Amino acid sequence: MAYDEYLAERIERILMDRKVNFYQKAMMGGLVFMVEDKMCIGIVRDKKTNEDRIMARIGEAAETQYSNRIGCRSMEFTGRPMKGFVFVYPEGYDLDEDLEFWVDLALKFNPFAKKSKGRS
């Protein structure tokens, strides 16, 4: 599994600073930070560009509002858009305050996110 471990540490540090109860889970070929057993934010590699990007679950309203921020793109996974999720490329999270922005946005939406049904 390939992902930027330094980026994972940065996200982990932000979550710990915010006193968020979370755990990490290997998912989608990357690493996802689960909050309240829900996918919140993660790191996945773009197979076309080989760049790490963050995946943030921010809700449809925030996706519309912030889709024009630097580095932000709609999340398409398996060829179809996933509403309420965005990919953010390095130019959109290189600065600590930018990464904090995306983590905080994902945390803000988390209480409203639905848990996945899980597999039987």
- What band does 120 get if pLDDT is binned at 50, 70 and 90? very low
More confident residue, 5 or 80: 5
Model pTM? 0.92
Model pLDDT, residue 48: 87
Percent of the chain with pLDDT over 70: 96
Q: Is 116 among the domain residues?
A: no
As a whole number of angstroms, the distance between CA 23 and CA 31 comes to 10
Domain total of the chain: 1
With 80 as the cut, is the pLDDT of residue 33 above it? yes
Model pLDDT, residue 80: 84
Q: Is 115 among the domain residues?
A: no
Q: Is 120 among the domain residues?
A: no
**E-assigned strand segments in 10-98:** 22-27, 30-35, 38-45, 52-57, 72-77, 80-88
Rounded (to 5) percent helix, strand, coil in the chain = 35, 35, 30
